[in-house]
Structure 1
Amino acid sequence: MMNSNQALFVVKVILASGAISLAIVTGGPALNIPATSAIALTLVLLPPLLIAGILGLRAWQQH
């Protein structure tokens, strides 16, 4: 069973996801980003690399 804290967290994540989606749909066309493979590769690889860096730093600090 989900308690109220977990349910609230799920609602917050859904609302944040919707807000980000709306921002991308409405503001995305205003960004004049060229469609190149380098930009696509950067946008695909940047989030996992940032998360890996943050998690690696946290693991290093706890050790």
Structure 2
Amino acid sequence: MATQKKIKKKEKKNISVGIVHIFASFNNTIITFADLQGNTLSWASAGKCGFKGARKSTPFAA
């Protein structure tokens, strides 16, 4: 039998104050959440959320 690998669970961080960077180009919108030191905590983009092609640049995708 093969041994099972242990999978680490991600820790949830409760952050009361942070920085949001929004990069909006003609083709895509990228949103980055960071702490006060500038360390990226999470990010999202229209392409990552399932929008492809011309729909990535619409205000609805943002």
The two structures have a TM-score, normalised by structure 1, of 0.22
Task: Give the strand-richer structure, 1 or 2.
Answer: 2
Task: Give the helix-richer structure, 1 or 2.
Answer: 1
Larger RCO (alpha carbons 8 Å, 6+ apart): 2
